[in-house]
A and B are shown apart, each in its own frame.
Chain A
Amino acid sequence: MSHGNPDLDELIRSAHLGRSARRWNAQRAIFRRLGLGGGAALLLERITHALSSADLPKWAVGGAGITLVAGSAFVATQLSPTAPKRIESASELVAGESLEPPLPSAPSAPAQPIAPTISVDALPSAPPPTSKSWRPTHAAASAFAVTGDDLSRETASISSIRSKITARQYASALDAVRAHRATFPRGILTQEAAVLEIQALEGLGDDARTCSEGKAFLDANPTSAHRTRVLGMLRACNQ
């Protein structure tokens, strides 16, 4: 040691680690090895995870990366003959099998890297799709454009609600959730809106509604990525 002998606490401070520099590639390798999909599936899962965390990174809010990937995935799902007509949530979207078509051929998809942490270059380099369900058409391009805009607005709306909650403006946040639902009745961020509503109710001290809404959420979404968070808000319910 060049600056004297450090004590245990100094060693601990030196030992704190951030994250792997090869995190993206490593996670993508795991996805591929376990048959969970490629870079697009990983990116969508990361977006879902980011949206479910309290401190939403800026790049995830209304970013063109979301528009690009989620929009492309939406097109893939919508064009598939077996696809469900409605996408309930981002996590269900991620769980779908139809995310595998490679993104580079997505209609009107810009090839610019958007976020500093996720590069479009890192997206899967699988061979071009041959499925009939993945044929670029004018309809597909149109669907993509509309969906991309909608998703950006929806994400911005969720972000706005979250900001109100952070500012402890719970009543205002609750109003914003209602407005959000009216504006995006078929949105893909319905789970996020529901969780924020529960959080706003908790902030307002409305324990009865917090518990009832929270339990309803868990019943309706038993495998949600938000489950732990909602369970945390329901700790007082059984007391």
Chain B
Amino acid sequence: MPKLALSSVERARLKSAVVAHYDFVWRGLRHLGVSPEDSDDIAQEVFEILAPKIGSLGHGAEKAYLFQIVSRVAANYRRRRARRSNVTGDGDVTVVPDPKPTPDSLAESNERRRLLERLLADLPEDLSTVFVLCELERMTLREVSELLEIPLGTATSRLRRARAQLSEALSRCWSTES
């Protein structure tokens, strides 16, 4: 990556963003289908995309912008995996094999997480975004509406629709399985 010509203020803001929002970025990527093995590397890409833009962002806008990047990068990642999977015939692209064996309880928890990731991947992006922020990041609807710059009512409606569609997809999943 070419060296960036950042002012001292921009460097300070970038450092602060890396420390303050790294966990948020990493979890967002994981929730949106990026595998645990790749999440740290992809998080690095996210901050590389942020870096040249940091000076043009308003103060306090870093988190919202980072989440936009996370959504886009995770979508690209899923598409790349899907293409690779089509070529290799791996089948379900969102199920990431565990590199190490885990105890039963952990395996079940991982299985559930992957199931939710798979269901989320099928959800429209505007709904999955609000769902991830509210339900998985435990942000309030007001915080989410501010972060995504959408009205509170829209955020509420998206969350309700996301939950309804996920519940329906989950029911279909169980009925198919049985």
Contact = CB atoms under 8 A, between A and B. Distances in A.
A132 interface: no
B95 interface: no
Interface string A12-56: 101111011011011101110111110001100110110000000
B121 interface: no
A231 interface: yes
A227 B20 CA distance: 13
B15 interface: yes
Most chain-B CB neighbours within 10 Å: which of A14, A34, A95, A228? A34
Contacts of B13: 223
Interface residues of B, number: 49
B39 to A, nearest CB: 6
A94 B48 contact: no
Contacts of B47: 30, 34
Contact of B59 (A3, A22, A42, A222): A222
Contacts of A3: 108
A5 B174 contact: yes
Query: Which range holds the interface residue count of chain A?
Result: 35 or more
A236 interface: no
Chain B CB within 10 Å, residue with most, of A15, A35, A41: A15
B103 to A, nearest CB: 12
Contact of A91 (B4, B12, B23): B12
A227 B60 contact: yes
9 closest A-B pairs (Cβ-Cβ)? A14-B112, A95-B12, A26-B40, A11-B116, A5-B174, A19-B23, A15-B113, A45-B15, A49-B19
Interface of B: 1, 3-4, 6, 8-9, 11-16, 18-20, 22-23, 26-27, 30-31, 39-40, 43-44, 47-48, 51, 59-60, 104, 108-109, 111-113, 115-117, 119, 135-136, 138, 163, 166-167, 170, 174, 177
Given A31-B15, A41-B15, 11 more contacts: A5-B177, A14-B109, A15-B113, A16-B136, A26-B40, A34-B48, A92-B12, A95-B9, A222-B59, A223-B59, A228-B60
30 contacts: A2-B104, A2-B108, A14-B112, A14-B113, A14-B116, A15-B31, A17-B30, A19-B27, A20-B23, A23-B22, A26-B26, A27-B19, A27-B22, A29-B44, A30-B47, A34-B4, A34-B18, A34-B51, A35-B3, A35-B6, A36-B18, A45-B16, A48-B16, A49-B20, A91-B16, A95-B11, A95-B15, A96-B8, A223-B13, A228-B60
